[in-house]
Protein backbone atom coordinates (compact mmCIF):
# COMPACT_ATOMS: atom_id res chain seq x y z
CA UNK A 1 0.00 0.00 0.00
CA UNK A 2 1.35 3.39 -0.99
CA UNK A 3 1.88 5.68 2.01
CA UNK A 4 0.74 9.29 1.66
CA UNK A 5 1.46 12.23 3.95
CA UNK A 6 -1.83 13.94 4.79
CA UNK A 7 -3.26 16.53 7.17
CA UNK A 8 0.06 17.67 8.55
CA UNK A 9 2.62 20.43 8.08
CA UNK A 10 5.52 19.81 5.75
CA UNK A 11 8.52 21.90 4.72
CA UNK A 12 9.80 21.45 1.18
CA UNK A 13 13.12 23.25 0.73
CA UNK A 14 13.87 23.94 -2.91
CA UNK A 15 10.14 23.89 -3.62
CA UNK A 16 10.46 26.25 -6.58
CA UNK A 17 12.64 23.69 -8.32
CA UNK A 18 11.78 20.66 -10.40
CA UNK A 19 11.38 17.91 -7.78
CA UNK A 20 10.27 20.27 -5.01
CA UNK A 21 7.38 21.72 -7.01
CA UNK A 22 6.14 18.22 -7.91
CA UNK A 23 6.28 17.35 -4.20
CA UNK A 24 4.33 20.46 -3.22
CA UNK A 25 1.62 19.71 -5.77
CA UNK A 26 1.07 16.23 -4.30
CA UNK A 27 1.23 17.39 -0.67
CA UNK A 28 -1.35 20.14 -1.17
CA UNK A 29 -3.69 17.71 -2.95
CA UNK A 30 -3.40 15.49 0.12
CA UNK A 31 -4.56 18.28 2.43
CA UNK A 32 -1.27 19.23 3.99
CA UNK A 33 -0.03 22.65 4.93
CA UNK A 34 3.13 23.20 2.95
CA UNK A 35 5.93 25.65 3.59
CA UNK A 36 8.45 26.23 0.80
CA UNK A 37 11.91 27.70 1.41
CA UNK A 38 13.66 28.78 -1.76
CA UNK A 39 15.97 31.55 -2.94
CA UNK A 40 15.17 31.02 -6.65
CA UNK A 41 18.82 30.32 -7.46
CA UNK A 42 17.77 27.69 -10.00
CA UNK A 43 14.05 27.33 -9.27
CA UNK A 44 11.38 29.50 -10.82
CA UNK A 45 8.38 31.47 -9.59
CA UNK A 46 6.41 29.97 -12.45
CA UNK A 47 6.61 26.55 -10.76
CA UNK A 48 4.91 28.02 -7.68
CA UNK A 49 2.15 29.93 -9.48
CA UNK A 50 -0.50 27.18 -9.09
CA UNK A 51 0.00 27.23 -5.30
CA UNK A 52 0.20 30.94 -4.50
CA UNK A 53 -3.55 31.35 -3.93
CA UNK A 54 -3.82 28.24 -1.77
CA UNK A 55 -4.21 29.28 1.87
CA UNK A 56 -2.40 26.09 2.92
CA UNK A 57 0.73 27.14 1.06
CA UNK A 58 3.38 29.47 2.44
CA UNK A 59 6.46 30.70 0.60
CA UNK A 60 9.50 31.78 2.53
CA UNK A 61 11.90 33.44 0.16
CA UNK A 62 15.18 32.74 1.84
CA UNK A 63 18.53 31.05 1.66
CA UNK A 64 19.81 27.81 3.18
CA UNK A 65 23.03 29.65 3.96
CA UNK A 66 21.12 31.99 6.28
CA UNK A 67 20.47 30.39 9.68
CA UNK A 68 17.51 32.66 10.47
CA UNK A 69 15.75 31.67 7.23
CA UNK A 70 16.22 27.99 8.07
CA UNK A 71 14.87 28.44 11.60
CA UNK A 72 11.85 30.38 10.39
CA UNK A 73 11.00 27.72 7.80
CA UNK A 74 10.90 24.80 10.28
CA UNK A 75 8.47 26.40 12.77
CA UNK A 76 5.65 23.94 13.50
CA UNK A 77 6.89 21.47 10.89
CA UNK A 78 6.43 17.68 11.16
CA UNK A 79 8.37 16.55 8.11
CA UNK A 80 11.24 18.27 6.32
CA UNK A 81 11.74 17.21 2.70
CA UNK A 82 15.13 18.77 1.98
CA UNK A 83 15.48 19.26 -1.77
CA UNK A 84 17.27 22.62 -1.97
CA UNK A 85 20.79 22.34 -3.32
CA UNK A 86 22.85 23.40 -6.28
CA UNK A 87 22.60 20.45 -8.63
CA UNK A 88 24.79 19.57 -11.62
CA UNK A 89 28.22 17.98 -11.70
CA UNK A 90 29.61 20.49 -14.26
CA UNK A 91 28.41 23.46 -12.18
CA UNK A 92 30.28 22.09 -9.18
CA UNK A 93 33.45 21.58 -11.23
CA UNK A 94 33.29 25.19 -12.39
CA UNK A 95 32.38 26.65 -8.98
CA UNK A 96 33.07 24.19 -6.16
CA UNK A 97 33.02 26.88 -3.47
CA UNK A 98 29.41 27.96 -4.03
CA UNK A 99 28.23 24.38 -4.45
CA UNK A 100 29.88 23.51 -1.15
CA UNK A 101 28.48 26.55 0.67
CA UNK A 102 24.90 25.72 -0.35
CA UNK A 103 25.00 21.94 -0.33
CA UNK A 104 27.14 21.41 2.76
CA UNK A 105 26.91 24.52 5.00
CA UNK A 106 23.30 25.15 3.95
CA UNK A 107 22.40 21.52 4.54
CA UNK A 108 24.00 21.67 7.98
CA UNK A 109 22.01 24.81 8.82
CA UNK A 110 18.81 22.96 7.94
CA UNK A 111 19.77 19.96 10.04
CA UNK A 112 20.48 22.17 13.06
CA UNK A 113 17.25 24.12 12.60
CA UNK A 114 15.24 20.89 12.24
CA UNK A 115 16.91 19.40 15.30
CA UNK A 116 16.22 22.47 17.43
CA UNK A 117 12.59 22.67 16.26
CA UNK A 118 12.06 18.99 17.11
CA UNK A 119 10.72 17.99 13.67
CA UNK A 120 9.46 14.44 13.41
CA UNK A 121 11.63 13.40 10.48
CA UNK A 122 14.18 14.85 8.08
CA UNK A 123 14.15 13.32 4.59
CA UNK A 124 16.80 14.65 2.22
CA UNK A 125 17.88 14.39 -1.40
CA UNK A 126 21.18 12.61 -1.84
CA UNK A 127 22.36 11.42 -5.24
CA UNK A 128 23.58 8.47 -7.25
CA UNK A 129 26.79 10.48 -7.70
CA UNK A 130 27.93 9.18 -4.27
CA UNK A 131 28.81 5.90 -6.03
CA UNK A 132 31.65 7.75 -7.78
CA UNK A 133 34.19 5.43 -9.37
CA UNK A 134 32.81 2.21 -7.87
CA UNK A 135 32.46 -0.09 -10.89
CA UNK A 136 29.74 -2.39 -9.49
CA UNK A 137 26.37 -2.63 -11.23
CA UNK A 138 23.69 -2.50 -10.03
CA UNK A 139 24.64 0.02 -7.36
CA UNK A 140 24.09 -1.31 -3.85
CA UNK A 141 23.87 1.19 -1.00
CA UNK A 142 26.79 -0.16 1.03
CA UNK A 143 29.29 -0.17 -1.87
CA UNK A 144 30.38 3.35 -2.80
CA UNK A 145 33.64 4.49 -4.44
CA UNK A 146 35.60 7.73 -4.55
CA UNK A 147 33.60 10.82 -5.51
CA UNK A 148 34.28 12.11 -9.03
CA UNK A 149 33.14 15.70 -8.53
CA UNK A 150 32.69 18.40 -5.87
CA UNK A 151 28.93 17.84 -6.19
CA UNK A 152 29.34 14.16 -5.31
CA UNK A 153 31.43 15.11 -2.28
CA UNK A 154 28.69 17.43 -1.03
CA UNK A 155 26.09 14.66 -1.23
CA UNK A 156 28.40 12.22 0.52
CA UNK A 157 29.00 14.79 3.28
CA UNK A 158 25.21 15.25 3.62
CA UNK A 159 24.91 11.55 4.34
CA UNK A 160 27.73 11.70 6.88
CA UNK A 161 26.18 14.67 8.70
CA UNK A 162 22.74 13.07 8.67
CA UNK A 163 24.19 9.91 10.21
CA UNK A 164 26.01 11.85 12.92
CA UNK A 165 22.91 13.90 13.77
CA UNK A 166 20.88 10.71 14.07
CA UNK A 167 23.46 9.17 16.40
CA UNK A 168 24.24 12.25 18.50
CA UNK A 169 20.85 13.89 18.78
CA UNK A 170 18.46 11.03 18.06
CA UNK A 171 17.08 12.70 14.94
CA UNK A 172 15.09 10.59 12.48
CA UNK A 173 16.80 11.02 9.11
CA UNK A 174 16.41 9.26 5.78
CA UNK A 175 18.53 9.95 2.67
CA UNK A 176 17.30 9.31 -0.85
CA UNK A 177 19.90 8.76 -3.56
CA UNK A 178 18.00 9.89 -6.63
CA UNK A 179 19.03 8.47 -9.99
CA UNK A 180 18.52 10.84 -12.98
CA UNK A 181 15.05 12.12 -12.24
CA UNK A 182 12.91 13.53 -15.06
CA UNK A 183 9.39 14.88 -15.57
CA UNK A 184 7.37 18.07 -15.80
CA UNK A 185 8.87 21.33 -14.60
CA UNK A 186 12.47 20.21 -15.06
CA UNK A 187 14.30 23.21 -16.49
CA UNK A 188 15.31 22.70 -20.14
CA UNK A 189 17.39 25.89 -20.26
CA UNK A 190 20.88 26.93 -19.36
CA UNK A 191 24.33 25.47 -19.32
CA UNK A 192 23.48 22.88 -16.66
CA UNK A 193 20.16 21.57 -17.96
CA UNK A 194 19.54 17.84 -17.54
CA UNK A 195 19.65 15.63 -20.59
CA UNK A 196 15.95 14.79 -21.04
CA UNK A 197 14.51 18.34 -21.07
CA UNK A 198 17.51 19.49 -23.12
CA UNK A 199 16.90 16.84 -25.79
CA UNK A 200 13.14 17.48 -25.82
CA UNK A 201 13.51 21.23 -26.20
CA UNK A 202 16.04 20.91 -29.02
CA UNK A 203 13.87 18.39 -30.89
CA UNK A 204 10.72 20.53 -30.53
CA UNK A 205 12.73 23.38 -32.09
CA UNK A 206 14.08 21.13 -34.86
CA UNK A 207 17.62 21.52 -33.53
CA UNK A 208 20.14 18.69 -33.25
CA UNK A 209 20.64 17.79 -29.55
CA UNK A 210 24.24 17.32 -28.41
CA UNK A 211 25.22 13.98 -26.86
CA UNK A 212 28.45 13.96 -24.84
CA UNK A 213 30.62 10.97 -25.84
CA UNK A 214 29.34 8.15 -28.04
CA UNK A 215 25.91 7.89 -26.39
CA UNK A 216 26.54 4.38 -25.08
CA UNK A 217 26.72 5.56 -21.46
CA UNK A 218 23.65 4.33 -19.57
CA UNK A 219 21.43 5.76 -16.86
CA UNK A 220 18.63 4.56 -14.61
CA UNK A 221 16.17 7.32 -15.55
CA UNK A 222 13.47 7.81 -12.91
CA UNK A 223 10.13 9.49 -13.41
CA UNK A 224 9.47 12.23 -10.87
CA UNK A 225 6.24 10.73 -9.49
CA UNK A 226 8.27 7.74 -8.28
CA UNK A 227 10.42 10.22 -6.34
CA UNK A 228 7.32 11.93 -4.91
CA UNK A 229 6.18 8.56 -3.61
CA UNK A 230 9.63 7.72 -2.27
CA UNK A 231 9.75 10.90 -0.18
CA UNK A 232 6.44 10.07 1.41
CA UNK A 233 7.41 6.46 2.01
CA UNK A 234 10.60 7.68 3.69
CA UNK A 235 8.74 10.19 5.86
CA UNK A 236 6.22 7.60 7.02
CA UNK A 237 8.29 4.41 7.22
CA UNK A 238 7.65 2.85 10.62
CA UNK A 239 10.30 0.12 10.68
CA UNK A 240 13.03 1.44 13.06
CA UNK A 241 15.59 -0.28 10.86
CA UNK A 242 14.56 2.07 8.03
CA UNK A 243 15.84 5.16 9.83
CA UNK A 244 19.29 6.72 9.69
CA UNK A 245 20.06 5.22 6.33
CA UNK A 246 20.28 6.16 2.64
CA UNK A 247 18.37 4.49 -0.20
CA UNK A 248 18.60 4.23 -3.95
CA UNK A 249 15.53 5.79 -5.51
CA UNK A 250 15.29 4.79 -9.14
CA UNK A 251 13.25 2.68 -11.49
CA UNK A 252 15.79 -0.15 -11.46
CA UNK A 253 16.45 -0.43 -15.22
CA UNK A 254 18.93 1.39 -17.39
CA UNK A 255 18.94 2.65 -20.96
CA UNK A 256 21.72 4.24 -22.99
CA UNK A 257 21.58 7.84 -24.11
CA UNK A 258 21.26 6.63 -27.69
CA UNK A 259 18.21 4.54 -26.73
CA UNK A 260 16.79 7.49 -24.81
CA UNK A 261 17.31 9.71 -27.85
CA UNK A 262 15.49 7.26 -30.12
CA UNK A 263 12.54 6.98 -27.73
CA UNK A 264 12.19 10.75 -27.40
CA UNK A 265 12.40 11.20 -31.15
CA UNK A 266 9.79 8.49 -31.73
CA UNK A 267 7.34 9.86 -29.14
CA UNK A 268 7.81 13.48 -30.20
CA UNK A 269 7.31 12.65 -33.87
CA UNK A 270 3.74 11.65 -32.97
CA UNK A 271 3.21 15.38 -32.30
CA UNK A 272 5.38 16.61 -35.17
CA UNK A 273 6.42 14.11 -37.90
CA UNK A 274 9.36 16.30 -38.99
CA UNK A 275 11.17 15.37 -35.75
CA UNK A 276 11.56 11.73 -36.88
CA UNK A 277 14.59 12.48 -39.05
CA UNK A 278 16.60 14.74 -36.70
CA UNK A 279 20.00 13.23 -35.90
CA UNK A 280 21.93 14.00 -32.68
CA UNK A 281 25.29 15.74 -32.63
CA UNK A 282 28.03 13.76 -30.90
CA UNK A 283 30.33 15.89 -28.69
CA UNK A 284 33.48 15.21 -26.65
CA UNK A 285 33.18 13.30 -23.34
CA UNK A 286 32.29 15.46 -20.34
CA UNK A 287 34.48 15.56 -17.20
CA UNK A 288 33.04 14.08 -14.01
CA UNK A 289 30.42 11.94 -15.79
CA UNK A 290 30.11 8.31 -14.77
CA UNK A 291 29.87 5.77 -17.62
CA UNK A 292 27.00 3.65 -16.34
CA UNK A 293 24.39 3.88 -13.67
CA UNK A 294 21.85 1.34 -12.53
CA UNK A 295 20.30 1.04 -9.08
CA UNK A 296 19.35 -1.90 -6.99
CA UNK A 297 16.12 -0.75 -5.35
CA UNK A 298 15.79 -3.81 -3.12
CA UNK A 299 16.64 -1.93 0.07
CA UNK A 300 14.04 0.80 -0.53
CA UNK A 301 11.47 -1.86 -1.41
CA UNK A 302 12.21 -3.82 1.73
CA UNK A 303 12.51 -1.07 4.33
CA UNK A 304 10.50 1.83 2.90
CA UNK A 305 7.88 -0.10 0.95
CA UNK A 306 8.98 1.88 -2.15
CA UNK A 307 7.57 0.58 -5.43
CA UNK A 308 8.18 2.65 -8.59
CA UNK A 309 4.85 2.83 -10.34
CA UNK A 310 5.91 4.66 -13.50
CA UNK A 311 8.19 3.00 -16.02
CA UNK A 312 10.63 5.09 -18.05
CA UNK A 313 8.48 4.81 -21.18
CA UNK A 314 5.27 5.87 -19.41
CA UNK A 315 7.14 8.70 -17.68
CA UNK A 316 8.70 9.90 -20.94
CA UNK A 317 5.30 10.05 -22.61
CA UNK A 318 3.87 12.07 -19.72
CA UNK A 319 6.87 14.41 -19.69
CA UNK A 320 6.71 14.91 -23.45
CA UNK A 321 3.01 15.84 -23.36
CA UNK A 322 3.79 18.43 -20.71
CA UNK A 323 6.79 19.91 -22.59
CA UNK A 324 4.82 19.94 -25.83
CA UNK A 325 2.11 22.05 -24.17
CA UNK A 326 4.59 24.29 -22.40
CA UNK A 327 7.41 24.77 -24.91
CA UNK A 328 6.00 24.59 -28.38
Ligand X SMILES: NC(=O)c1ccc[n+]([C@@H]2O[C@H](COP(=O)([O-])OP(=O)(O)OC[C@H]3O[C@@H](n4cnc5c(N)ncnc54)[C@H](O)[C@@H]3O)[C@@H](O)[C@H]2O)c1
* Nearest approach, Cβ of residue 13 and ligand X (Å): 6
* Nearest approach, Cβ of residue 103 and ligand X (Å): 7
Active site residue 267: no
* Nearest approach, Cβ of residue 92 and ligand X (Å): 10
User: Distance between CA atoms of 46 and 62, rounded to whole angstroms?
Assistant: 17
Task: Using the minimum distance from each CB to ligand X, give the nearer residue, 17 or 280.
Answer: 17
Task: Using the minimum distance from each CB to ligand X, give the nearer residue, 87 or 315.
Answer: 87
* Nearest approach, Cβ of residue 304 and ligand X (Å): 17
Task: Using the minimum distance from each CB to ligand X, give the nearer residue, 102 or 278.
Answer: 102
Show Cβ contacts of residue 160 under 8 Å, excluding neighbours closer than 6 positions. none
* Nearest approach, Cβ of residue 182 and ligand X (Å): 7
Task: Using the minimum distance from each CB to ligand X, give the nearer residue, 36 or 236.
Answer: 36
- Cα–Cα nearest to 227, from 315, 327, 318, 130: 315
Task: Using the minimum distance from each CB to ligand X, give the nearer residue, 10 or 64.
Answer: 64
* Nearest approach, Cβ of residue 42 and ligand X (Å): 4
User: Distance between CA atoms of 104 and 113, rounded to whole angstroms?
Assistant: 14
Catalytic residue among 151, 247, 251, 267: 151
Binding site for ligand X (CB under 6 A): 14, 16-20, 37-43, 63-65, 83-87, 102, 106, 125, 127, 178, 180-181, 194
User: Distance between CA atoms of 246 and 249, rounded to whole angstroms?
Assistant: 9
User: Where in the sequence numbering do the catalytic residues fall?
Assistant: 151
Amino acid sequence: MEKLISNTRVLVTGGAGFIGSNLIEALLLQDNEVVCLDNFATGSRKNLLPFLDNRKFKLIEGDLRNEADCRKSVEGIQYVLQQAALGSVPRSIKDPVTTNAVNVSGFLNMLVAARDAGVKRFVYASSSSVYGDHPGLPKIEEETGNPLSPYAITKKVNELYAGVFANLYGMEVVGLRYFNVFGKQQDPDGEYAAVIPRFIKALIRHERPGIFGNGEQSRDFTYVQNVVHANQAAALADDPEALNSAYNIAYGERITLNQLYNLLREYLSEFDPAIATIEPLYLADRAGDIPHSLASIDKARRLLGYEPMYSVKVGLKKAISWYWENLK
